[in-house]
Amino acid sequence: MATQENSPQEGTRFFEENAQSRRPGCIKSETVEGTQEINCSITAASSSGRNLRKKEHLTKPEQFDLVYKEGGTQTDRYLVMKARPSQLEFTRYGISVSKRIGNAVVRNRVKRVLREILRLNDLKPGWDIVMIARNPASGGDYAQLNKSAVNLLSRAGITVK
């Protein structure tokens, strides 16, 4: 079986200039006016934020247990936050959402929102944080959860201001 270079054929879904490219900086579209600017701004906005790395997450049960045992507690209507100082150069966090909050769809939505809130806020380095969602968090929108999380972080002195 001979190998040959894939070339765009008639009837394919790719434009010729995009046939061999792997998602460049922004998506080009010739058919709809203004699409290129919108797609470029979405790509730029998503890449301009602070990216979270795996090391910034609490991943092991021992790490969660240490924060639960030694961490200070701040509470709110939507969230409970436990935080303890660590000797690291960055802040790690974990999110806990129990089955009492709702089904998997609701729990995952709450976790996604909390991850985004923590990603967008400037946090002081050297903290381990666990955010625990309470029952009203399932009905809360982004603005309510953001206000709650920022309030808890600022009361604990973890935000940079």
Task: Specify whether the CB–CB gap between 91 and 126 falls below 8 A.
Answer: yes
Domain ranges of the chain: 22-48, 54-156
136 has a pLDDT exceeding 90: yes
Can you tell me the distance from the alpha carbon of 145 to that of 60, in angstroms, rounded to the nearest whole number? 25
pLDDT in tens, 33-62: 544 444 444 434 444 445 556 678 899 999
Mean pLDDT over residues 15-28, rounded?
51
Q: Report residue 3 as tokens.
A: 């190998």
pTM (whole model) above 0.85:
no
* Residue whose C-alpha is closest to residue 95's, from 33, 37, 149: 149
pLDDT score of 119: 92
**Cα separation values, 154 from 67, 105, 122, Å:** 18, 29, 11
Beta-bridge partner residues of 123: 159
pLDDT in tens, 92-112: 999 999 999 999 999 999 999
Compute the CA torsion angle 107, 108, 114, 120 (nearest 10 deg).
-170
Mean pLDDT of the chain: 79
158 has a pLDDT exceeding 60: yes
Mean pLDDT over residues 118-124, rounded?
92
Work out the pLDDT band at 7, boundaries 50, 70, 90: low
User: Could you say which of 3.30.360.10, 3.40.50.2300, 3.10.20.30, 3.30.230.10 is the CATH number of the domain covering 54-156?
Assistant: 3.30.230.10
Mean pLDDT over residues 106-124, rounded?
94
143 vs 13, residue with greater confidence: 143
89 has a pLDDT exceeding 60: yes
